[in-house]
Amino acid sequence: MLDVQNIVFSYNKSTILNHVSFKAKKGENIAIIGESGSGKSTLLKLIYGEYDLNSGHISWNNQPILGPKFNLVVGYDFIKHVTQEFDLMPFTSVEENVGKHLSNFFPERKKDRVNELLEIVELSDFKNVKVKTLSGGQKQRVALARALAKAPEIILLDEPFSHIDSFKKRSLRRNVFNFLKQENITCLVATHDKNDVLGFADKVLVLQDQKVAFKDTVENLYKSPNIPLVASFFGEHNSINGQLVYANQLTVTKQSDIEIMVKRSYFKGSYYLIEGMRNGSSIFFHYDTALQEGVNVFLKID
């Protein structure tokens, strides 16, 4: 169990995290969301032991996780932290990078493990390629594979698929998150992308104003987003009579007290996102076809 207890942290004067507490069970996948600058990456760095806390405690199975004041070498063997910097060896091959921390004592076992990981990150064809010649997205995949190589107990992922194109992203996400579940690795993922969360995270932690504003299951948080920040994370939303309503919860009806004038229609593939105006504010809803600008329609909340 990862236990983050009442931590307070500031880089210099301004406090970034103020009395943050939460727990993560073995094998659990926890997504950390929040506005840019809310402290998601900082929280992951603290859990890795990269900085000293002002106060509070972090432990894994009762073993304290300590910062550089207490450790000559930053970090712990049982935690892997995949940052945005990747930190790879540019002049060696993909295979060597992934296998870097694996023992050479059982070469066959090492080879099999590297091959398994390269399949997960879909880089088997790049095995012998030097890392410096790879694209940003490919480097990110090498960094993920390397972090998974020794099956850590905890993996900290900071925007893990941000550099990867949308063709690859979906299958890669499934591969990586399913692998983590299968190996029972506790995963904390800081993300701005709802697709990293929906279908994968067990819990979501919302950072706001230096604190954990909410911690709940994805389903509960999606159904009751509580604050616009959470609703906007999951999709286009409106505030109607004080209630947060997703665009896909609104349907056109014959008569209601929500009357809007159509302003614009955006083609979204399987639906159109319609922007309408009501009392000087935009209202967004989904519709099967484009609607003519200036037309008045009534909406109801499903």
Ligand X SMILES: Nc1ncnc2c1ncn2[C@@H]1O[C@H](COP(=O)(O)OP(=O)(O)OP(=O)(O)O)[C@@H](O)[C@H]1O
Q: Which is nearer to ligand X, 190 or 262 (CB)?
A: 190
**Quick one: CA torsion of 144, 211, 218, 222, rounded to 10 degrees?**
-130
Within 187-246, the residues that bind ligand X by CB under 6 A are 190
Q: Which is nearer to ligand X, 27 or 137 (CB)?
A: 137
DSSP class per residue in 110-123:
HHHHHHHHHHHTT-
* Cβ at position 22, least distance to ligand X in Å: 16
Q: Which is nearer to ligand X, 11 or 91 (CB)?
A: 11
Q: Which is nearer to ligand X, 79 or 123 (CB)?
A: 79
The SS3 assignment for 219 reads: helix
**Euclidean distance between CA atoms 265 and 272, whole angstroms:** 6
Fill in the per-residue mask, 155 to 194: x = in contact with ligand X (CB under 6 A), - = not in contact.
-----------------------------------x----
CB contact set of 122 (below 8 Å; sequence gap of 6+):
141, 168, 171, 172, 175
Told to check if 276 binds ligand X by CB under 6 A, we report no
**Euclidean distance between CA atoms 234 and 20, whole angstroms:** 23
Within 27-86, the residues that bind ligand X by CB under 6 A are 34, 36-42
* Cβ at position 32, least distance to ligand X in Å: 8
Q: Which residues pair with 250 in a beta bridge?
A: 301
Told to check if 16 binds ligand X by CB under 6 A, we report yes
Q: Which is nearer to ligand X, 14 or 292 (CB)?
A: 14
Give the phi and the psi of residue 217 in degrees, each rounded to 5: -70, 160
CB contact set of 189 (below 8 Å; sequence gap of 6+):
29, 30, 31, 32, 156, 157, 158, 160, 196, 197, 201
Residues binding ligand X: number (CB under 6 A): 11
* Cβ at position 48, least distance to ligand X in Å: 13
* Cβ at position 229, least distance to ligand X in Å: 12
Q: Which is nearer to ligand X, 33 or 154 (CB)?
A: 33
Residues that bind ligand X (CB under 6 A): 11, 16, 34, 36-42, 190
